[in-house]
Amino acid sequence: MILYKTDEQVELMRKAALLVSKTLTEVAGMLKPGIQTLAIDNLIGTFIRDHHAVPSFLNYHGYPFNSCISVNDVVVHGFPNKRELKEGDIISVDAGVILNGWHGDHAYTFAIGDPGKEVAQLIRVTKESLYKGIEKAVAGNRVGDISFAIQDFTEKKHGYGVVRELVGHGLGKDLHEDPQVPNYGKRGSGAKLKEGMVLAIEPMINLGKKEVYTEDDGWTVRTKDGKASVHFEHDVCIRKEKADILSDYSPIEKAESLNSNLFSS
């Protein structure tokens, strides 16, 4: 069942989404070679709690960390660990909060040093595909219009692999609400988009083939071919002319460009 949010509820969800943006901005400021992803996860948990919110991923279906930190060929749901980041790594940081009962859930992929031309392009294109999807996220369109826009740009235009097993989703008092928002699909298909729907749109795009597998830990999703994968996620509210993007990349991008350890694509 799709749950539509009132304007007041959307403002509460914006606060939750922006707390995630703020958290990712903190992360952007601390990233450097030699840092352990577990240290990033600890900062995320502390930062969220210091802001009177709860890290929503922790214990979600038994997920054992505050955040998902997915390095290189890890697509999503990577466990933070003691491995140290090194030059050329890419790292997707996905975090969620519950603030005043409402969820925020968004993600950003960073590059530590220069990841090389191919991967830098994958990062740029995946981020752009998220905005191509958001352009279609307006009342009167259908979920499939968002899906098609992302797939068309990443797969058809750039030849990347679009992950099929994982999808975006509705967001609200629950982390995963209806409808599902695949990153592949047909124009004009799926649920009708209406004002007050809040969606987490999250392209997961592989440099190589689309196939992925889940590790024995039950969570970590990796590309089968071992090539890089990139993940960006925004929370958006459906409106008439143009979606209202509740999360905000601008402070993250600013911190990214000010951090000389990061490669700004």
Exactly one of 41, 73, 89, 94 binds ligand MF3 (CB under 6 A); that residue is 94
Q: Give the residue among 79, 75, 84, 49 at the shortest CA–CA distance from 62.
A: 79
Q: Which of these segments, 104-112, 120-128, 203-211, 213-221, binds Co ion (CB under 5 A)?
A: 104-112
**Binding of residue 57 to ligand MF3 (CB under 6 A):** yes
Asked if residue 88 lies in contact with residue 215, where contact means CB atoms within 8 angstroms, the answer is: no
Q: Give backbone dihedrals phi and psi of 103, rounded to 5 degrees, phi first.
A: -90, 145
**What one-character DSSP code corresponds to residue 116?**
-
Alpha carbon dihedral 59, 65, 67, 69, in 10-degree steps, equals -140
**Binding of residue 105 to ligand MF3 (CB under 6 A):** yes
Nearer to ligand MF3, 105 or 145 (CB): 105
**Binding of residue 63 to ligand MF3 (CB under 6 A):** yes
Site string for ligand MF3, 215-234 (x = CB under 6 A): ------------------x-
Exactly one of 30, 52, 60, 173 binds ligand MF3 (CB under 6 A); that residue is 60
**Binding of residue 200 to Co ion (CB under 5 A):** yes
Strands 177-181 and 204-206: unpaired
**Binding of residue 16 to Co ion (CB under 5 A):** no
Give the contacts of 216 (CB within 8 A, at least 6 positions apart): none
Asked if residue 203 lies in contact with residue 250, where contact means CB atoms within 8 angstroms, the answer is: no
CB of 9 to Co ion, least distance (A): 18
Q: Which of these segments, 12-20, 55-63, 190-198, 242-250, binds ligand MF3 (CB under 6 A)?
A: 55-63
Amino acid at 225: D
Cα separation, 241 vs 180, in Å, equals: 22
CB of 21 to ligand MF3, least distance (A): 14
**Binding of residue 200 to ligand MF3 (CB under 6 A):** yes
Residues 130-169 that bind ligand MF3 (CB under 6 A): 169
Choose from ligand MF3, Co ion, none: what does 235 bind? Cβ within 5-8 Å by kind: none
Give the contacts of 52 (CB within 8 A, at least 6 positions apart): 99
Which two tokens mark 37?
């992803």
Indicate the SS3 state at residue 129.
helix
257 by Cβ neighbours in 10 Å (0-12 / 13-18 / 19+) ranks as: exposed
CB of 256 to ligand MF3, least distance (A): 20
Nearer to ligand MF3, 201 or 263 (CB): 201
Q: Which of these segments, 76-84, 105-113, 121-129, 137-145, binds Co ion (CB under 5 A)?
A: 105-113
Residues that bind Co ion (CB under 5 A): 105, 200
